[in-house]
Amino acid sequence: MDSASLIYAILLFPLAGAAINGLLGLFMPSWRKQERLIGILGTAMVALPFAAFVVLFLSFDGNASITRFFTWMAAGDLTIDFAYRIDQLSLLMGLVVTGVGSLIHVYSIGYMHGDDGFWRFFAYLNLFIFMMLNLILGDNLVVLFLGWEGVGLCSYLLIGFWYRNLANSAAANKAFIMNRVGDFAFLVAMFILFREVGALDMSSLIAAGSSMDPTMLSLAVFLLFMGATGKSAQIPLFTWLPDAMAGPTPVSALIHAATMVTSGLYLLARLSPLVLLAPGVMTLIAIVGATTALVAATIAITQNDIKKVLAYSTVSQLGYMFVATGVGAFYVAIFHVMTHAFFKGCLFLGSGSVIHGMHHVEHELAHDGHGHKLDPQDMRTMGGLKQFMPATRMTFLISTLAIAGIPLLAGFFSKDEILFKAFEAASFGFPAAWFVWGVGLMTALLTAIYMIRAYVLTFEGSPRWPHADTLHPHESPASMTVPLWVLAGLSVVGGFLGIPAVIAHGDLNWIHHWLAGDHGPVAERLFDGHVALAMEWALIALGSGVAIVGVTLGWRWYTRQGLAFDDALASRFGGLWKLFQGKYFVDEAYDKAIVRPIIGGARYVFAPFDKYVVDGLVNGTAFLTRALSFVLKYFQTGLVPSYAVGIVFGVVLIVWLMLF
């Protein structure tokens, strides 16, 4: 098959899956019972595109190719095609999205078993994949934006999947509305770029970058970054992501860890030649990223809900990626996107497996009539799960060590590269990067600690749920553990795609060559000098040391003292701990500063304005028109002489108009 038909297949399979499962489920209640069929269909519609990506990847000749399907819209100078770009970046992202996506679809067959909305879930997931593929393959910003909004919609639908619980709907609304803020910035950025460049396809934009007015370019890049902070949950728009954990856990893994939340990074990497021309904004990106990483990590350490820990960890890791973007190492950001998709996907799926097991315990407890209530996501009532769920435990441990940055696991390579790039930037003329580098190191330590805390509280020690002696959770079915093992395996080996420059002068750094090589689509900031080789080794040793120290300390503290250590920390740090636990009270501040004034304004200013002024004008116009109609009706007497008078009047009018 040629690449055009492969791209057709890649895009249309998930769309068809969504349509089939969605429409049949909607109109044929009997279809909803066919879990096996729905699951297989849904998974195949993602696995087939993955296979197509593999074919494209293997036959890729190093040149970007653009496939135009048809013109979407044309108005004046603006022509938007449904055009899709295959290059190194979109291939890599496509492989990650459909690969991890397929695994999570398989996992969902087990996880969502027995849910009333099984068909709906798979329809949404397939639709999400379709939209995500539009986002990463689209050759112009408008198609990209279509995907961008589409994944936002699917995210909304899936966060609120269990919509009968009002809290879930509220979380969905929060995610959607916060994303709108970022989307608005993205839109304005598009308007500016169109005004400056006159086109919105990637090649034209990138080619026009150097001739653009630098102020406008910086403004556009800044607004794109604002859009990215919404989608990728950075300060100031990060508070929706932890709430988004209200959705089913496979959703958290797929959308809120592996794929959608990284689309902001993708956007900046895609337009990296433009971003590089706005160094001021890049500094801002690096600082925002580093700050977000630290803030989220400090919150993560205080959370007791296993998914919340992972959610804040995601925000923190996304902060790392923005650091990489900010220091001009776009390919490293994408590298971390990829490794993060492996280990964070695995962690989320592992937590899902744990929740699945604890749900069983909760169910049994409720059944006994002991009156015990159990939150299946609360780590305080877990513990000792390693004896009941060995596969889950092993994969969770592997990915925990990977995210902590234990050497030779995936997270080690990508995180170390980010820190190294920050150090390099700091050494060669970007002093702000010192701050970024320092914060990054501190965050790395915190990451190791909170992750090992989550692991220990969940799997080590002895069970803490009621009647633990008689009630046991069970290991999850193979449909769930197999994807876990695959992702764990990738978390081990995934890092070797980016072997650092200390070895063989970077010749073995595949991802660098692939993305940022001679023909690669991703730009990078080049520096005047090189960090000395010994220094590089020292930095690697420092990074590894931090990870190992963090893991060791966390292990020691939490295996020995367990939950009591949290209390010790709380009393030691006092107010600071309260600040972390309260998530820096950002939600509360937003509520006071933005939400309430807007609601108040709506209620007391805009609603009356709408009711009395706008409606008054509208109703007044309608009233006047009807009144006019009523008056004019009286000229229609039904008598021929009055009609003739009308004609004479018309004759006078027309002769007068014509002659004078």
Partner 1 sequence: MDLSQAYSSMWADIAAALPLVIVSLAGLVVVVFDAYRNRHAATPLITLAALVLAFAVEIPALSADGTAFHGMLRIGGAAAFVNLLILGSGILTVMLAMPYLKRLDMHIGEVYSMVLFATAGMLMLGAANHLVTIFVGLETMSVCLYILTGLVRKNQGAIESALKYFLLGAFSTGFFLYGMALLYGATGTMSLSDMQVAAGSGSVMFWAGVALLLVGFLFKVSAVPFHMWTPDVYQGAPTPLVGFMSTASKAAAFAALITVLVLALPPERWTGVLAVFAVITMVIGNVLALSQSNVKRMLAYSSIAHAGYILVALAAGTPEGYSGALFYLLVYTVMNIGAFGVMSQLEWDDAQGSTQSLDSLAGVGYRRPLLGWTMVFFMFSLAGFPPLAGFLGKWAVFAPAIDADLVWLAITGVLASAVSAYYYLRVLVVFFMKSARDGEPGTAAGEAFVIPTMTRGVLIFCTALLVVLGVTTFAWDLTGTFFG
Interface with partner 1 (CB under 8 A): 625-626, 628-630, 632-633, 635-636, 638, 640, 642-644, 646-647, 649-651, 653-655, 657-659
Answer yes or no: are the C-beta atoms of 260 and 228 closer than 8 Å. Answer: no
CA 450, CA 291: separation in Å to the nearest integer?
17
Pick the closer one to partner 1 by CB: 166 or 658: 658
Pick the closer one to partner 1 by CB: 561 or 637: 637
3-state secondary structure of 655: helix
Question: Does the N-terminal peptide bond of residue 473 adopt cis geometry, omega within 30 degrees of 0?
Answer: no
585 sits in the region (left: phi over 0; alpha: psi -120 to 50; else beta) called left
Pick the closer one to partner 1 by CB: 534 or 639: 639
CA 528, CA 102: separation in Å to the nearest integer?
43
Pick the closer one to partner 1 by CB: 504 or 628: 628
Pick the closer one to partner 1 by CB: 70 or 630: 630
Least gap, CB of 70 to partner 1 (angstroms):
17
Pick the closer one to partner 1 by CB: 526 or 632: 632
CA 408, CA 504: separation in Å to the nearest integer?
17
Pick the closer one to partner 1 by CB: 496 or 635: 635
Least gap, CB of 653 to partner 1 (angstroms):
8
CA 158, CA 172: separation in Å to the nearest integer?
8
3-state secondary structure of 83: strand
**Which residues are within 8 A (CB) of 136 and not within 5 positions of it... i.e. 6 or more apart?**
90, 93, 94, 97, 147, 263, 266
Least gap, CB of 226 to partner 1 (angstroms):
36
At position 169, the amino acid (one-letter code) is S
**Which residues are within 8 A (CB) of 622 and not within 5 positions of it... i.e. 6 or more apart?**
none
Residue 84: phi and psi, rounded to 5, are -125, 140
Residue 78: phi and psi, rounded to 5, are -95, 120
Least gap, CB of 634 to partner 1 (angstroms):
11
Least gap, CB of 644 to partner 1 (angstroms):
6
Answer yes or no: are the C-beta atoms of 179 and 171 closer than 8 Å. Answer: no
Pick the closer one to partner 1 by CB: 58 or 659: 659
Q: Which two tokens stand for residue 194?
A: 């169109």
The residues that bridge with 85 in the sheet, in sequence order, are 66
Least gap, CB of 630 to partner 1 (angstroms):
6
Structure-token match 């539009």, residue found: 134
Least gap, CB of 314 to partner 1 (angstroms):
45
At position 12, the amino acid (one-letter code) is L
Structure-token match 């349509």, residue found: 19
Answer yes or no: are the C-beta atoms of 321 and 251 closer than 8 Å. Answer: no
Least gap, CB of 614 to partner 1 (angstroms):
17
Pick the closer one to partner 1 by CB: 280 or 646: 646
Least gap, CB of 621 to partner 1 (angstroms):
10
Least gap, CB of 650 to partner 1 (angstroms):
4
Pick the closer one to partner 1 by CB: 572 or 633: 633
- DSSP structure class, residue 81: E
